Amino acid sequence: MPKVLSRRDFLARAAAGLVGCALASMGCGTQTQGGTGGGRTTLNLWYWNRSIDDNILEQVNKRFPKANLVPQKIGGDYRSKLLITFAGKSYVPDIAGINVDIATYFPDADQFVDLQSVGANEVKSDYLEWKWLQGITPEGKMIGFPMDIGPIALFYREDILRKAGVPTDPDQLYERIKTWEEYFELGEFLKSKLPQRVSLADEITQIFQHVMAQGADWYQDKSGHFIGDQAHVKRAWDLAVTAHRKGLLANSARYSTDWNASADTGRFITFHGAVWMKLILKDAAPDTTGLWRVCPAPGGAGNSGGSFLSITRYCKDPQLAFDIISWVQNPENQLKAYVEIDLYPSTPSIYNRPEMNHPEEFFGGQNTNPIFSESARQVKPFYLGTEYNIINPIYAKELTNVATQGKDPERAWEDALHEIQKRLQLRGAWK
């Protein structure tokens, strides 16, 4: 069996040049970062498409006369490319975007500037507390500045529920399905009222993910110990399995062509999703304009997605870089980014602004923002863990085996735990 490289092994080999070809293929600026010229300091920014409003970035060099910001959109495996630059100590951006899995960067916290040392705490009150805390390591170093978030709600087909005799006003529906158990009861009721091909929700892994997103704990504690075999994870697993056993799921994998067709034709009539699923739904199901609504999610508030901006240790002027990122992500600019490219703000002071509150044609004239903004305010602080990207797909794989191959759920659970332990041991991360 080939050896699985640990993160440290990978970085060491990258530094030795064994993955140097990847550096050459990135197309990322000059080797020496943070240079000066013409009285301006050049700061290279790495981000991915639609993670920052380009119109805002275009204003930076006018607003900051000492800066020459050079934004670079990085495609492909963004995280691996960033880690490779750290290993090689070249082509390192001064400023870098980081996704919701920011905790997976905590073992490399020494590669980043502590944003508290350049004034971050002065603007802390502008941001949701749980989002702010996400960017701080267990040791107290802040490596991520808040960008967007992904508050969760329940999307549902108003027309189909109405035909089944179910109250469709968002508040009235939520009163009926506040808990996951009540949500499943609704699904069983609908099975008796609707054609056999119509299901309550889309797929088993999404039930699991959204139950997990409603809690504070995931798969590791802040000391790195594995807690994915504990009651909070088993509860999410069991709820997902229950939905499957009751025949409430369409088994339509999210982000697939089958999911798009199922959403458009009404094969499933509800799903849990983050606010950014609005755009995906509109693209997937254009024939259902006016038929969908949104209400608070059964089980409580949660978050899925969102990003951060960091300053690397190689940045020549960290204070200037912070002044830029804190301006790019201030409340007014987050509002602009919401209007222009639908990035949901982490700055609650703007949630009641008219630009965020208006009737939405696709959702039958409903203003969905109060639902999502309340969810955003109620999210519990959570910690995904340094090995989230290794652990999470293993649960998803085994749940998919349950749903599509008929695998025994308890055997799948044990197999998931066994594989997680094996993978973490190979990486030197098992505790």
Q: Is 251 exposed, middle or buried (0-12, 13-18, 19+ CB in 10 A)?
A: middle
- Give buried/exposed letters for 87-119 (b at 16+ CB in 10 A, else e): bbebbbbbbbbbbbebbbbbbbbebbbbbeebe
Q: Tens digit of pLDDT for each residue in 340-398?
A: 999 999 999 999 999 999 999 999 999 999 999 999 999 999 999 999 999 999 999 99
Q: Tens digit of pLDDT for each residue in 98-110?
A: 999 999 999 999 9
Q: What is the mean pLDDT of residues 137-142?
A: 98
Nearest to 191 by CA among 247, 135, 110, 259: 247
Instruction: Please identify which residue in the block is written with the tokens 């309550």.
Output: 200
| The predicted structure's pLDDT at residue 29 | 35
Pick the CATH number of 151-302+360-427 from 2.30.40.10, 3.30.70.260, 3.40.190.10, 3.40.228.10: 3.40.190.10
Q: Tens digit of pLDDT for each residue in 290-330?
A: 999 999 999 999 999 999 999 999 999 999 999 999 999 99
Q: How far apart are CA 90 and CA 70, in angstroms?
A: 16
User: Is the separation of the CB atoms in 235 and 245 below 8 Å?
Assistant: no
Report residue 46 CA to chain centroid gap: 18
- pLDDT class of 196 with cuts at 50, 70, 90: confident
Q: Which one is predicted more confidently, 152 or 26?
A: 152
Give the mean pLDDT of the chain.
92
Strand 303-311 with 36-37, pairing: unpaired
| Distance linking the first and last C-alpha atoms of the chain | 23
| The predicted structure's pLDDT at residue 197 | 85
- In this predicted structure, the answer to whether residue 4 has a pLDDT above a threshold of 50 is no
Q: How far apart are CA 244 and CA 258, in angstroms?
A: 18
pTM here is 0.91
Q: Tens digit of pLDDT for each residue in 6-61?
A: 444 434 444 334 344 444 444 333 333 445 556 899 999 999 999 999 999 999 99
Q: How far apart are CA 334 and CA 396, in angstroms?
A: 33
Give kind and range of the element (H or E) at residue 56: helix 54-57
- In this predicted structure, the answer to whether residue 203 has a pLDDT above a threshold of 50 is yes
- Give buried/exposed letters for 371-382 (b at 16+ CB in 10 A, else e): bbbebbeebeeb
Q: What is the mean pLDDT of residues 68-96?
A: 95
Tokens of 172: 């009235």
| The predicted structure's pLDDT at residue 116 | 98
Sequence-distant (≥ 6) Cβ neighbours of residue 74 within 8 angstroms: 26, 28, 46, 47, 48, 81, 82
User: Is the separation of the CB atoms in 99 and 44 below 8 Å?
Assistant: no
Whether the domain at 41-150+305-350 and the domain at 151-302+360-427 fall into the same CATH topology? yes
- pLDDT above 90: percentage of residues in the chain: 90
- In this predicted structure, the answer to whether residue 74 has a pLDDT above a threshold of 90 is yes
- pLDDT above 70: percentage of residues in the chain: 91
Sequence-distant (≥ 6) Cβ neighbours of residue 399 within 8 angstroms: 204, 205, 208, 237, 240, 241, 412
| The predicted structure's pLDDT at residue 195 | 84
Within 10 A of 297 (CB to CB), how many other CB atoms are there? 26
Q: What are residue 312's DSSP bridge partners?
A: 112
Q: Where are the domains of the chain?
A: 41-150+305-350, 151-302+360-427
Class at the top of the CATH hierarchy for domain 41-150+305-350: alpha beta
| The predicted structure's pLDDT at residue 36 | 55
The DSSP line for 243-282 is: HHHTT-B----TTSHHHHHHHHHTSB-EEEEETTHHHHHH
Q: Tens digit of pLDDT for each residue in 247-256?
A: 999 999 999 9
Q: What are residue 292's DSSP bridge partners?
A: 157
Three-state secondary structure call for residue 218: coil
Which CB contacts under 8 angstroms, 24+ apart, belong to 113-117?
A: 113/143, 113/310, 113/311, 113/312, 113/313, 113/315, 113/318, 113/321, 113/322, 114/141, 114/142, 114/143, 115/142, 115/143, 115/144, 115/145, 115/310, 115/311, 115/322, 116/141, 116/142, 117/318
